[in-house]
Amino acid sequence: MHAPLWREVLDHYFKDKQDLKFLELGTGNGLCANFLLDNYSCTVDTVDIEETRIVKEQENQYEVSTIKNLQPFIEAGRCTFNLMNTKQFLTANQDKQYDFIYIDASHDKDWVLYDAVTSFALLKTEGLLIFDDYGWGDCGIGINAFLECFDKHIQVIHKGWQVFIHKASDLV
């Protein structure tokens, strides 16, 4: 449902660019990573605490494997699935830099804020960051705290169920 807005905004920043580096915090079933990998010349580091999920639809139940959904991209060396929490990943990867970061892991306001602050240091100047679930529970509290604290370094592009920001400058 977010694909049309994503396509418009991401195309503005990344269309025809090569060797982009994307980070996804909260992989879910791998659908977002698949969208990014199908549409952009990028590699994706994706992070989640689960690799499989049980999905229930009416009376049916089935297992969805994130790794199976990402397998062609993993085999091609374009995607790395990291089975760990975001704190473990962000702590171990402070030397990386990303063109785009998508935050959709924890829905706890404190963890959302932690993921935002910590990953912001990994976002390149002129990079794009998207938060998901602005209206879910207390997510918006963590997102708003980040927006307020980093207002001199960001430009809010869109604020709805998802919040899109552009990193205008690094912290000094």
- Where in the chain are the domains? 3-167
Q: Distance (Å, rounded) from C-alpha 5 to C-alpha 68?
A: 27
Determine the pLDDT at residue 33. 96
pLDDT for the residue 56? 86
pLDDT number for residue 139: 94
- Read off the tokens for 47: 């992070």
Q: Please report the pLDDT score of residue 41 as a whole number.
A: 97
Distance (Å, rounded) from C-alpha 45 to C-alpha 123?
13
pLDDT for 143 equals 97
pLDDT at 171: 66
- As a whole number of angstroms, the distance between CA 64 and CA 80 comes to 18
Can you tell me the distance from the alpha carbon of 80 to that of 132, in angstroms, rounded to the nearest whole number?
21
User: CATH code for 3-167?
Assistant: 3.40.50.150
Residue 42's pLDDT is 98
Q: Flag residues of the chain having pLDDT under 70.
A: 171-172
Least Cα distance to 171 among 111, 98, 99, 117 occurs for 117
Angle, nearest 10°, between helix axes 31-39 and 3-14? 40
